[in-house]
Amino acid sequence: MNYSELYIVKELVDLVNIPSPSGFTDSIIGYLDSELKRLGFSPRRTRKGALVVEIGGRGNPIVLAAHVDTLGAMVKSLKPNGRLEITNVGGFTMNSIENENCIIHSKTGKTFSGTIQSISPSVHVFENARSLERKIANMEIRVDEELKNAEDLQKLGIEAGDFVSFDPRATVTKNGFVKSRHLDDKASVAVLLDFARRVSEGKVTCSRKTYLFFSNYEEVGHGASAAMPDDSEEIISVDMGAVGDTLRTDEYVVSICAKDSGGPYDSTVVRSLIESAKRVGADYSVDIYPFYGSDVEASLRAGYDVRFGLIGPGVEASHGYERTHYKALENTLKLIEGYVGN
């Protein structure tokens, strides 16, 4: 099987290559808008910039929510040495972005390449190159231009508040692994696109009224806090399944979350998801994620009166250089079709 040619994998690679840190998501929302229209649907944008689309079915309305925004950074200040001080967008460890190539997106529309490094990057020069604490104050961006000082940066049009996106380094292996940044949560976005494609082609029929909701501020905590369809009765976050430590989830299954940092998920929904996974033969695990929040929790805190759950493909090394497998995408799609489809 040539995994790279499969719709779900091709879409995932395209998605991770579209820069979209929280607050900078117009391009990827536009991409999804165009693809959903090509499939025959009529998506609409919310005032906050998210995308919602009804794809079929009647009664008992459900929302499947995935987020398009990713981790990233912003320029905090122009440093006297011609480097950029940064502030993080979303939660990640500094060592996970050290030596990563990046793009600075200036407000003029121009982009500049650069590299994120510590302020003591060379073992041949700095005694503390190995011991320096990797924290945001000790990181900077080296821009790929001839620069000596902050004035040179100003001449380029770079300023505080410009967004910084990280190189995803997306790779699809011959045996079905997908390695990339931002699989959280673009793996699930690709799953929902493939589900919409299958509905549009008549391969799946929705057994209940089904909406897809693509949020754009999940990584900073308020993604799905607004603009849920008025008749929503249930919201399922389709996000990544956490992998590691004593959790049973791996990179080949769809993970069903029973509890995360926000508390337990609806037990009736969890049981129904498990029953659906068994019925359709989706390989799954049930886990508790110790340090995790989701879009549906933002909806609940905003006051939505809905049933709620969370599923997603297993993703290893989350918020770093992540990896999943085609089987996890396939099992997540299979569970969604079993849960809301005929």
Q: Is 159 annotated as a binding residue?
A: no
Q: Is 322 a catalytic residue?
A: no
Q: Return the closest-CA partner of residue 294 out of 281, 312, 282.
A: 312
CA of 197: how far to CAs of 16, 37, 75, 191, in Å? 19, 11, 38, 10
Cα Rg of the chain, angstroms: 21
SS3 percent helix, strand, coil of the chain, rounded to 5, is: 30, 30, 45
Q: Return the closest-CA partner of residue 313 out of 263, 241, 218.
A: 241
3-state secondary structure at position 315: strand
Q: Is 182 annotated as a binding residue?
A: no
* Contact criterion met (CB below 8 Å) for 55 and 211: yes
CB-facing half-sphere around the CA of 163: CA atoms within 13 A:
21
Q: Return the closest-CA partner of residue 74 out of 147, 156, 144, 141.
A: 141
For residues 284, 172, 219, 132, the Cα torsion angle rounded to the nearest 10 degrees is 120
Cα separation, 63 vs 208, in Å, equals 10
Q: Return the closest-CA partner of residue 191 out of 5, 2, 7.
A: 7
Q: From the candidates 218, 234, 316, 322, which is the catalytic residue?
A: 218
Q: Is 124 annotated as a binding residue?
A: no
Query: Which residues of 185-253 form beta strands (DSSP E)?
Result: 210-215, 234-238, 241-242
Query: Which residues of 158-283 form beta strands (DSSP E)?
Result: 163-166, 171-172, 177-180, 210-215, 234-238, 241-242, 254-260, 263-264
Q: Which amino acid is at 133?
A: E
* Contact criterion met (CB below 8 Å) for 296 and 236: yes
Any idea which residues carry the catalytic annotation? 218
Binding positions for Zn(2+): 67, 184, 219, 239, 319
